[in-house]
Amino acid sequence: MKGIKKSLTEEYLYLDFSYQKEGCIFPLHTSITLFLLSYCDCKIFKVCLVLTGESTGISLLKSVLSEDVEIQIISRQELPPIVQSCCLPAVVERPDNFCRAGLAVVLRHIIQKSYEADPSKKEILELLGFKKTCLKACAEVSQWTRLCELTIPLAIENFLKESSDQPPAIPAEILELEKKLSEPVRVHNDDKLRRQKLKQQKAAGVRPSLSKEETKSKVHRQETSEEVDSSSASLELRVAFSKLTVHEEPAPANREPAHVRKTKASDLPPLDHVFVEGLYFTLADIVLLPCIHHFLVIICKKLSEKLVEFPLLAAWYQRIQEVPRVKTTASQCGIQFLNLPELQTTSNEQQPSLDEVPCVEEQNDPSFIGGPRPTMTKLMEKGIEVMFSPHPCPTWTLDWDALPAAVSPKEGKMSSDRALRKQQQLNNLVYVVTNQAKPGDRIVDFCSGGGHVGIVLAHMLPSCQVTLIENKELSLIRAKKRSDELGLSNIWFIQANMEYFTGTFNIGGCCEHRRICAPSPSIAANT
């Protein structure tokens, strides 16, 4: 990745292990991670399975683990201290002060390290998608990341548990995924591909779209729908699989016909999904494959009549098996693919429109009044009396000129004016923390960014343990570089969403919200 120093330092990958059942390791996050390791043929991590209190089926592990991956089994007490503060999966760089936690963060890191180890594996880097953004947005802000990383794996685990006792209910998350596969695809060269599709449909004598007025009968609608599906598949599949074989789709030699060039964008045929994020095979497909496989196994065994409700999901499941190395990887990981019958895809006319989906945005709430109104006005409107108190830190308490250069926010690649404002902000936050902290306290800088607060605190309070938590990898790497320059030994770096941090702390702060807090209300303070 640009801006990241390429190194092959020894790293340890820690995965939860609860139990193994019917060729699947639980939790599913572990199965997914092991699948990716095998797919990437990645051997640069020391893999450790961490036993939970209820771990069972350890003797059967060999039947579902790839022989190419060396795995050590340990207890939770043997985890490095920094990992004990995080949800698994997690990756730690030696000397155990930089940790990446959470499924999406760990999987993206495995892909990057696999590519660094062998730059000829360009198809591995392509898993990160266009502009390398696949599952990059954290689950706290991205519904798609949350669906892939959290809600679908958890829903499938619950579905599998329920299926052992009684016929389980279909998870709402699976219905949501089926619906998503019916939505038009948006890609960076959208207009070009849709015009190629229109040209292809014209050449095949297939009308690009059908309205209800044009439909003569149900039989005619089904026949035409099948023609359109067959015609469109030839374009989308060709584009998708040309990417997988590292052969770009050749540009048409001749100029497009006038009727194609002049067609309005709104009248162009939509592109259909080949894979879950659109036309191209990405990390999201690998995340969902073990989940959907085990879902379909139960459906075929106990609820076979329900299979017809998931034609798009079944088609995706069959198609993904055609991707190079997927079948081999599945076999290595104990996954035996099902042979599903070909299902009739529901026509576009019967798919629910996006306009029909209930919207829950805040602006529909009559009690919500948006806009950047002053805080005092908002409080008074709610009948809250505001009490003003003297500023806790009216003067400078930090002598920035006497501090090492790497402590200053000017080292964080910002303008001098912004750096001065940041110094004023840090002065207030550090004043509050230094007056509250005691030797041995654990201080956490949430949403730490480049570590402006955490690095100052670690330098000023060498007897305290400071932890920086940030989702953006480059920001945290810059913070670690500054820390290394200062020789700080009381600082940890965790790349993760905040919900993946499970450690205890005495004082927590978030510079983004200019807030310092502590577990005890008596010592909580705002700045």
Report the percentage of the chain scoring pLDDT > 70.
69
Domain harbouring 71, CATH code:
3.40.30
Local confidence band at 357 (pLDDT 50, 70, 90 cut-offs): very low
Q: Looking at the structure, tell me whether residues 166 and 76 fall in a common domain.
A: no
Summarize the confidence of residues 337-364 as an average pLDDT.
54
Domain residues for 456?
396-510
Q: Looking at the structure, tell me whether residues 327 and 467 fall in a common domain.
A: no
Which whole-number Å values give the CA distances from 195 to 205, 232, 240, 332, 448, in the listed order? 15, 12, 16, 41, 46
pLDDT at residue 445 in the model: 92
Q: Judge whether residue 360 has pLDDT over 60.
A: no
Q: Judge whether residue 85 has pLDDT over 80.
A: yes
User: Nearest CA to 58 among 26, 84, 33?
Assistant: 26
Summarize the confidence of residues 201-222 as an average pLDDT.
46
Q: Most confidently modeled of 38-42, 263-267, 284-288, 402-406?
A: 284-288
Local confidence band at 289 (pLDDT 50, 70, 90 cut-offs): very high
Q: Which residue has the higher pLDDT, 182 or 186?
A: 182
Q: Which residue has the higher pLDDT, 502 or 342?
A: 502
Q: Looking at the structure, tell me whether residues 307 and 185 fall in a common domain.
A: yes
Q: Looking at the structure, tell me whether residues 24 and 80 fall in a common domain.
A: yes
Summarize the confidence of residues 72-98 as an average pLDDT.
91
Mean of the per-residue pLDDT values of the chain? 78
- As for how many domains the chain has, the answer is 3
Q: Looking at the structure, tell me whether residues 99 and 178 fall in a common domain.
A: no
Is residue 275 within 8 A of residue 209, CB to CB? The reply is no
Summarize the confidence of residues 297-308 as an average pLDDT.
90
Local confidence band at 212 (pLDDT 50, 70, 90 cut-offs): very low
Q: How far apart are the first and last CA of the chain?
A: 37
Q: Looking at the structure, tell me whether residues 293 and 180 fall in a common domain.
A: yes
Question: What's the token pair of residue 323?
Answer: 């991707």
Q: Looking at the structure, tell me whether residues 333 and 458 fall in a common domain.
A: no
Summarize the confidence of residues 354-380 as an average pLDDT.
52
Q: Judge whether residue 351 has pLDDT over 50.
A: no
pLDDT at residue 456 in the model: 92
Q: Judge whether residue 524 has pLDDT over 50.
A: no
Summarize the confidence of residues 454-472 as an average pLDDT.
93
User: Nearest CA to 209 among 194, 187, 219?
Assistant: 194
Domain harbouring 496, CATH code:
3.40.50.150
Q: Judge whether residue 216 has pLDDT over 50.
A: no
Q: Looking at the structure, tell me whether residues 334 and 477 fall in a common domain.
A: no
Domain harbouring 325, CATH code:
1.20.1050.10
Q: Which residue has the higher pLDDT, 64 or 307?
A: 307
Q: Judge whether residue 307 has pLDDT over 60.
A: yes
Q: Judge whether residue 211 has pLDDT over 50.
A: no
Q: Of 176-185, 209-218, 328-337, give the lowest mean pLDDT range.
A: 209-218
Which whole-number Å values give the CA distances from 121 to 54, 70, 116, 125, 126, in the listed order? 39, 22, 9, 7, 9
Q: Which residue has the higher pLDDT, 468 or 385?
A: 468
Q: Looking at the structure, tell me whether residues 180 and 79 fall in a common domain.
A: no
Taking residue 107's Cβ as centre, other Cβ atoms within 10 Å add up to: 30
Q: Judge whether residue 165 has pLDDT over 80.
A: no
In a domain, 242, yes or no: no
Q: Looking at the structure, tell me whether residues 86 and 140 fall in a common domain.
A: no
Local confidence band at 359 (pLDDT 50, 70, 90 cut-offs): very low
Q: Which residue has the higher pLDDT, 289 or 166?
A: 289
In a domain, 475, yes or no: yes
Summarize the confidence of residues 133-156 as an average pLDDT.
92
CA-atom Rg of the chain in angstroms: 27
Q: Cβ-count burial of 205 within 10 angstroms (0-12 exposed, 13-18 middle, 19+ buried)? A: exposed
Note the pLDDT tens digit of each residue in 23-70.
Answer: 678 899 999 999 999 999 988 899 999 987 665 555 555 555 555 667
pLDDT at residue 53 in the model: 67
Note the pLDDT tens digit of each residue in 225-259.
Answer: 344 344 445 566 666 666 665 444 445 556 666 66
Q: Rounded distance, CA 277 to CA 363, Å?
A: 29
Summarize the confidence of residues 345-362 as an average pLDDT.
42
Summarize the confidence of residues 406-435 as an average pLDDT.
81
pTM for this model (two decimals): 0.79
HEC letters along 47-76: EEEEECCCCCCHHHHHHCCCCCCCEEEEEH
pLDDT at residue 201 in the model: 62
Q: Rounded distance, CA 167 to CA 433, Å?
A: 55
Q: Looking at the structure, tell me whether residues 148 and 293 fall in a common domain.
A: yes
Q: Looking at the structure, tell me whether residues 100 and 23 fall in a common domain.
A: yes
